[in-house]
Amino acid sequence: MHLYNAWLPPPVAEKCKDEARTFGLVVRSVRGSWLPDSPDSVYSTLKWIPIIDLYLEARSEILLEDVKALIEIGLDIFLRSHDKLFVQVRWGNILIRLLKKYKKSLTLKVPWRPLYNTLLKTHLAR
């Protein structure tokens, strides 16, 4: 349990220990609401971003496997939402926060070419 949650009353502190499991459920829900073949399903994933943000703000202890899975899903959503700038901004912001927080504890392999192509299409072709 994080130091910020240590002062909580015992019943509430017990519920905080269950946050790793519930974050895993959120990651599975994001994966379930996003369909790679449907271009408009990226909008259905936006409802999960405030919930992910709450887990980050609460400094919850979450499993690194779930964080890695969420980053991979979020990066895929970011790269496949070509003309949806709002989706890219929302997912880009949450990915930046996740990568900053877990940069030393995760090992990720991110292909640079799709990010470069997205940058060219979004900012230099308009």
Side chain identity, residue 72: E
| pTM reported for the whole predicted model | 0.85
Cα separation, 13 vs 124, whole angstroms: 50
- For residue 3, name the pLDDT band (cuts at 50, 70, 90): low
Q: What is the pLDDT of residue 61?
A: 82
27 touches 70 (CB < 8 A): yes
Side chain identity, residue 86: F
| Token pair for 65 | 């496997």
Write the pLDDT tens digit of every residue in 95-124.
999 999 998 898 888 889 988 988 888 778
Give CA torsion, residues 72, 118, 96, 32, to 10 deg.
-30
Residue 72's alpha-carbon distances to 8, 77, 78, 91, 119, in angstroms, are 33, 9, 10, 11, 18
Cα separation, 86 vs 106, whole angstroms: 27
Among the listed residues 86, 85, 92, the one whose alpha carbon sits nearest the alpha carbon of residue 71: 92
